[in-house]
Structure 1
Amino acid sequence: MQVGVLSACSHSGLVDRGTHYFHTMNNDYGITTNSKHYTCMIDLLGRAGRLDDALNLMKNMPFEPDGATWGALLGASRIHGNTELAEKAAKMVFRMEPENAGMYVLLSNLYAASGRWSDVSTMRLKMRDTGIKKVPGYSWVEVQNKFHVFSVGDSTHADTVRIYGYLEELYMKLKQEGYICSAKLVLHDVEEEEKEHMLRYHSEKLAVAFGIVNTPPGGRPIRVFKNLRVCADCHNVIKHISKIEGRLIIVRDSHRFHHFSKGICSCGDYW
């Protein structure tokens, strides 16, 4: 229960409240803090950009940090572009959990955002040599009591032509509104135009597009599920879709529910 409360504070940016709960656990209620509580606090501080505070808390823990704790620090370092701290955290995670594919991906993301393509290639080689495979992302949406599953760049669905046609028209509208794709999310050293094309057909965008073209305007909410965390570019695009189409779009990713309506997400762009 305590972990759930601290985690909720972390994903909502409630730093002061989370810190208060953490300190009162033992002082007021006699609850002994464990590694999971500390991991939540390091994640809370790190997400808020207080990386030094997160690192100091880790150093003062009454026990040695585990892979999850270092992973939280790595994730926060990736969000705020601190490559030096990310590399330090990744080194510890790889030592404790050498088969943790997610940590390789996080560090690769940071290298790609910094334009360090040789380091991205090195990470790929390490994953290949150790037999580690990235978990493929996929999304699914329920329409008329039937589930439809999509992967990135999926062209196997019977409605592919309508889905891709809708997204082509959508991106013309988005550019008119000043939309700029988050090209730094692409882990390949290719031209900007190719990066935009690769981002355009992420699985959650395909699922939302399918829901739009197969349900009446102003109808029931479109509910999409994804097995991984929704990427920042998809999050931004779906906000626009909710405004353009006047639809409530609910996306459940691996972290939380996102309720998109009128161009705004319930997470406040903090997740």
Structure 2
Amino acid sequence: MYTDYSITANQRHYTCMIDLLGRAGQLDEALNFVKNMPFEPDAATWGALLGASRIHGNAELGEKAAKIIFEMEPDNSGMYILLSNLYAASERWDDVRMMRLKMRHTGVKKVPGYSWVEVQNKIHTFSAGDSCHPDKDRIYAFLEEMDLRMKQDGYVSSTKLVLHDVDEEEKVHMLKYHSEKLAVAFAVLTIPPGIPIRVMKNLRVCQDCHNAIKHISKLVGRLIILRDSNRFHHFKGGSCSCGDYWNGNHLLLRNSPMYATGKF
């Protein structure tokens, strides 16, 4: 950066590099990068390390990063959730319950996730398992049909993302009706073919929904644009413009079929 473009790397650049190393599974190198960076690591830096620890199931490193983050930002609900996710992925259910109690005692609240889509100048909002929408029967029937077709297309539910101590069948059921899936289903049913579908979500899209919407875009032949709390995702023909990078799959962006076209 400096040699070719005269750009001096700042703290955000270092945090991005730590995130890249962590997602690629090079956790030791990422930690060394944190220790040797010419800045005092902030909560975002340690958060990148915690996120990588969750992806690769390194509870020891994740706990170390979380402890430092909680000292810096005791009200950062996202970091509590990340650590809780890490425990859940390791089936450490007692620790998951401990985290929930800690959040309750410290007054930290998890922001509920919801998604919305505009159809004919009206905003339709959905939460997970929503049963209030007037078209709920059509939406749920469509998702059931899509579920069968997606499985035939190679889709597998990411049940490891379910943060509850329940059996596998219940986990699959819980994943099926996330808010972004409901919003996408409603949009497919109501927005005429040829018009891009645009869905918004207040939180980051989960890995399972990201995978499912890729399959849906292919099966229904629609461009689906999902704006979550991090970025725009353009789903088309079974691929996403992010190359799956932003959803825990440590694929490099250049592996995305859309990378070469510049269609981000």
Give the TM-score normalised by the residue count of structure 2: 0.88
2:127 maps to what in 1?
151
Which of 88, 92, 95 is residue 68 of structure 2 equivalent to? 92
* Equivalent residue number for residue 46 of structure 1: 22
The alpha carbon displacement at 1:230 in A equals 0.7
- CA RMSD of superposed structures (Å): 1.6
Distance in 1, Cα, partners of 2:80 & 2:222? 36
Count of aligned positions: 246
Find 1:234's aligned residue among 202, 206, 209. 209
Unaligned runs of 5+ in 1: 1-20
2: CA distance between counterparts of 1:231 and 1:131? 25
Q: Deviations over 1:34-82 (max 9, x none)?
A: 4333222222222222222211111112332121211111111112221
Q: What residue is the counterpart of 1:160 in the other structure?
A: 136
Are residues 1:193 and 2:166 paired? no
Could you tell me the percent identity over the aligned residues? Answer: 72
Query: Shift of the alpha carbon at 1:125?
Result: 0.9
Aligned to 2:231: 256
Residues 155 and 215, structure 2, Cα contact 8 Å, conserved in 1: no
How far is 1:135 from its partner?
A: 1.1
TM-score by length of 1: 0.86
The residue number in structure 2 matching 1:10 is: none
Equivalences for residues 1-271 of structure 1 within 5 A: 21=1, 24=2, 29=6, 31=8, 33-216=9-192, 218-271=193-246
Q: Distance in 1 between matches of 2:5 and 2:215?
A: 45
Q: Secondary structure at the match of 1:254?
A: coil
CA–CA separation in structure 1 for the residues paired with 2:109 and 2:41: 25
Stretches of 4+ aligned residues off by more than 4 angstroms: none
Letter in 1 for 2:169: E
Which secondary structure does the structure 1 equivalent of 2:229 belong to?
coil
Structure 2: runs of 5 or more not aligned: 247-264
